Amino acid sequence: MSEPLHPQSLGEILDRTAHLYRSRFLVYFGIGTIPAGTVLVFAAIAFVLFAWAGSSASDPVSSGTQAVLAFLLLGILALLALPACFATTALGFAAMNHAAARAFLGEPISIREAYKGAWKRGWRYVGLYVLLALIIGVAPIVALILWLMLTTVLAVAAKTAGFEPAAGIILGILMIAIMLGLAAFALWMLLRLSLAFPASVVEQIGPWSAIRRGSLLSKGTRGRLFLLFLLGSALGSLLTVGTSIPVFIALALIPGLQGPQHSQMLGEIYMFVWYGLSFAVQAFTKPVYGIALTLFYFDQRIRTEGFDIEWMMQQAGMAPAPIPQPQPAPWLPPIAQAPPIVSSLPENFSKSQEPQSGVRA
């Protein structure tokens, strides 16, 4: 590293994030393009199937047959898209944290090495991503569905008993309160567990240990993490709107797309362009989150565990070398034979210490 490790403020972390992103833009953008591109490919196929299903509106028989076949293909596509998108997104998160950690400690990085390091422990990162999705996203949705079912039963009972107006107002207020509470829960869990992926990648620990470790490390910095996600969301929205407006204006000025007969086609083109631009913006902004969360992870370890002192001791040769650990087999066979990489992360920080919180790999 060109500068010593030390606790950083939010402004310093954002500035360091921008510096690391600019210095290795193609690497980080390439890492973020793979998961975003995978989602875009499946979305484009779904868009084509929807357009094909409605292409024979003048013939009811052909239209019905195409619609049934299109929805059947969409079901098959969903079965393929869900695991593929989950796997590429999890590997993309792990590769981004891997690259950011190596860059933070002054190590060389590349797209291939980042994904190679993530590929070796792919099932671990997919499992962690699934757990985070269940806790942050699925649990509030399931709770909302159960509440809607209960609300329906209570509304029917109130109507039968003759208390429909008052019961409707009360249930409406409760529905708003429940939705706000579930949204607050999802946001709180996102802030609490946002450092789980960097912890899993750097310390090489399993999903449950990474969740506990991330929750522990996020104490005292969740307000700064909230500002990071707020700024990132604002940046993504501005980029999406700013890039889509010129494209929409250009499409509206094309003579062949003018007139009411082309309004449906123009609307479909608008929708496809909007989704395409949003996925491109995701590929551009994903590295911001990955780099910043990795910097927050190291900053919390410096603040609470004295990682900067341990790192300087290791660099000076004052700390004992770590015991070599056997490398796990890849979660899938390698795509092509390639020279082996010595380590997915520097040995002197990924295996050199145990978490002080009592959570062990």
Determine the Cα angle at 93 with ends 88 and 96, to 5°: 115
- Are the C-beta atoms of residues 116 and 70 closer than 8 Å to each other? no
Confidence (pLDDT) at 210: 94
Task: Please give the Cα distance from 192 to 171 (Å, whole number).
Answer: 31
DSSP per-residue string spanning 22-48? HHTHHHHHHHHHHHHHHHHHHHHHHHH
Q: CB under 8 Å to 147, separation ≥6 — which residues?
A: 175, 178
pLDDT tens by residue, the chain, 361 residues: 556 778 888 889 999 999 999 999 999 999 988 888 888 888 888 877 777 766 555 555 556 677 778 778 888 888 888 889 889 999 999 999 999 998 888 888 889 989 998 998 889 999 999 999 999 999 999 998 998 888 888 777 777 776 667 667 777 788 888 999 999 999 999 999 999 999 999 999 999 999 999 999 999 899 999 999 999 888 888 888 888 788 777 777 776 666 565 666 666 677 777 777 888 888 888 899 999 999 999 999 998 888 877 777 776 766 555 544 555 555 555 544 444 444 444 444 444 444 444 443 3
- pLDDT for res 77: 84
HSE-CB for 257 with a 13 A CA cutoff: 15
Angle between helices 196-203 and 122-133 (to 10 degrees): 160
* Predicted local confidence at residue 228, as pLDDT: 93
User: What pTM does this model have?
Assistant: 0.77
Q: How far is the C-alpha of 43 from the C-alpha of 37, rounded, in Å?
A: 10
Tokens of 284: 């551009």
What is the predicted pLDDT for the residue at 294?
A: 94
What φ, ψ does residue 197 adopt, rounded to 5°? -65, -50
DSSP 210-224: HHHHHHHHTTTTHHH
**Element at 135 (helix H, strand E):** none
Burial of residue 256 (CB within 10 Å: 0-12, 13-18, 19+) is: exposed
